Amino acid sequence: MVDTERLRKGVNSAVSQCTTLAELSTVQVDFLGKKGIITQEMKELGNYPPEQRKEIGAVLNDLHDEIELIIKAKREALEQSELEQRLAKERVDVTLSSRPEDRGHFHLLTQISEELLTYFKAMGFKVMSGPELDTDFNNFEALNIPKHHPARQEQDTFYISGAPDRLLRTHTSTIQIRTLSNHDVPIRAVSTGAVFRNDAVDATHSPIFHQMEIFVVEPGITTAHLKHCLLGFLGFLFKMDLVAMDNNNEPMPVRMRPSFFPFTEPSIEVDVCCSRKDGELKLDLEGDWLEILGCGMIHPNVFQNCGLSTFRDGTPVRGFAAGVGIERIAMLRYGITDIRHFYAGDMQWLNHYGKL
């Protein structure tokens, strides 16, 4: 005879020990599977005499159904508790405030370059660019910088070994040569980019820094246009109406000094007078004079080297040019005292000065 009581106990104890659905499946296979205990018992029915077969068969069928119910109840209980555990684990507190988003941003120098380009673009300047690795001709020769000029000495310029004509540009004035040699005049152009000099590194010198170059080549251009253009630009930079002040004949915290560049005649340097109050640098009539840019009327030799002699109306080609250090502008504007900060890759510094 089948010991139903023993089987029932066996099922109950096996099921009660199950803590996961996977374990319960194993128990189900052990009892009800193809090779399970109940199935084996069913197969043995043939060994019993016919009158017992019916009775035992009925008992086994009932036991099969009963085991199924026990397993089903346990499965439901396990599913419920697994769901509860998951809900507890994945609980979302919708009342919590969100985490701050960590957003990237452009480097301060990129932001200022873009700002300067936008200013000049609005006045019809074309944005030009050129390679950092350029020729001796574009960087020196065409800019009327003769072979013996100190700027050509090896301690200033990075030359490329094995390529005697190649160098890392020492200024963005190369863009004047590239543009004037390849574009029609009249033209107004602006360009920003990295320049390289073999300087010792200190708080105000770095072997790589950035410049902006602007130039206007149009009939009738004079130093008066140059002055007006640069005053407007400096006023924009320092949020001050320098042009209007000049028209009113008032004193200005800006001065233009005669200077020398081989590629301009006359050559001028522009200083701004700044005071530092509450850690902020401001254009101020009482303060220190700081050189901010070089400029002048483009030298006739430069035009000649670019193959230009006259405008289409037959008048001699003429124009002005200016070059500005972008780090210098950023340092003045934000009171940054060490140029090395720009390239150190310190995230705290970059985030502070990049999100102003």
Inter-residue contact 96 to 213 (CB < 8 Å): no
Angle among Cα 21, 22, 25 to the nearest 5 degrees reads 85
125 binds ligand DAH (CB under 6 A): no
* Shortest distance (Å) from residue 206 CB to ligand DAH: 14
Quote the CA–CA distance of 265 and 333 in Å, as a whole number.
30
* Shortest distance (Å) from residue 169 CB to ligand DAH: 10
* Shortest distance (Å) from residue 307 CB to ligand DAH: 19
Beta carbon nearer to ligand DAH, 295 or 339 = 295
Beta carbon nearer to ligand DAH, 317 or 322 = 322
Per-residue contact flags (x/-) with ligand DAH for residues 321 to 350, judged by CB under 6 A: xxx---------------------------
193 binds ligand DAH (CB under 6 A): no
Residues 6+ apart with CB under 8 A from 82: 20, 21
Read off the tokens for 204.
């105000």
Beta carbon nearer to ligand DAH, 85 or 153 = 153
Cβ count within 10 A of residue 302: 24
Inter-residue contact 286 to 275 (CB < 8 Å): yes
Helix (H/G/I), strand (E/B), else coil: 198: coil
* Shortest distance (Å) from residue 259 CB to ligand DAH: 8
DSSP 15-27: HHH--SHHHHHHH
171 binds ligand DAH (CB under 6 A): yes
Quote the CA–CA distance of 70 and 12 in Å, as a whole number.
8
Tokens 């072997």 locate to 207
* Shortest distance (Å) from residue 254 CB to ligand DAH: 16
Residue 320 forms beta bridges with which residues? Answer: 216, 297
Residue 194 forms beta bridges with which residues? Answer: 210
Inter-residue contact 192 to 210 (CB < 8 Å): yes
Per-residue contact flags (x/-) with ligand DAH for residues 248 to 267, judged by CB under 6 A: -------------x--x---
Beta carbon nearer to ligand DAH, 67 or 214 = 214
* Shortest distance (Å) from residue 280 CB to ligand DAH: 27
Quote the CA–CA distance of 319 and 80 in Å, as a whole number.
84
Beta carbon nearer to ligand DAH, 60 or 298 = 298
Per-residue contact flags (x/-) with ligand DAH for residues 286 to 325, judged by CB under 6 A: --------xxx------------------------xxx--
Cβ count within 10 A of residue 93: 5
Beta carbon nearer to ligand DAH, 322 or 330 = 322
Quote the CA–CA distance of 118 and 104 in Å, as a whole number.
22
Q: What type of residue sits at position 43? A: K
* Shortest distance (Å) from residue 299 CB to ligand DAH: 9
* Shortest distance (Å) from residue 320 CB to ligand DAH: 7
Among 113, 173, 174, 305, binds ligand DAH (CB under 6 A): 173
Cis preceding linkage at 186, omega within 30: yes
* Shortest distance (Å) from residue 293 CB to ligand DAH: 7
Query: What residues from 210 to 229 belong to the interface with ligand DAH (CB under 6 A)?
Result: 213
CA atoms within 13 A on the CB side of 227: 15
CB-based closest residue to ligand DAH: 323
Q: What type of residue sits at position 73? A: A
- Site size toward ligand DAH (CB under 6 A) is 11
Binding site residues, ligand DAH, CB under 6 A:
171, 173, 213, 261, 264, 294-296, 321-323
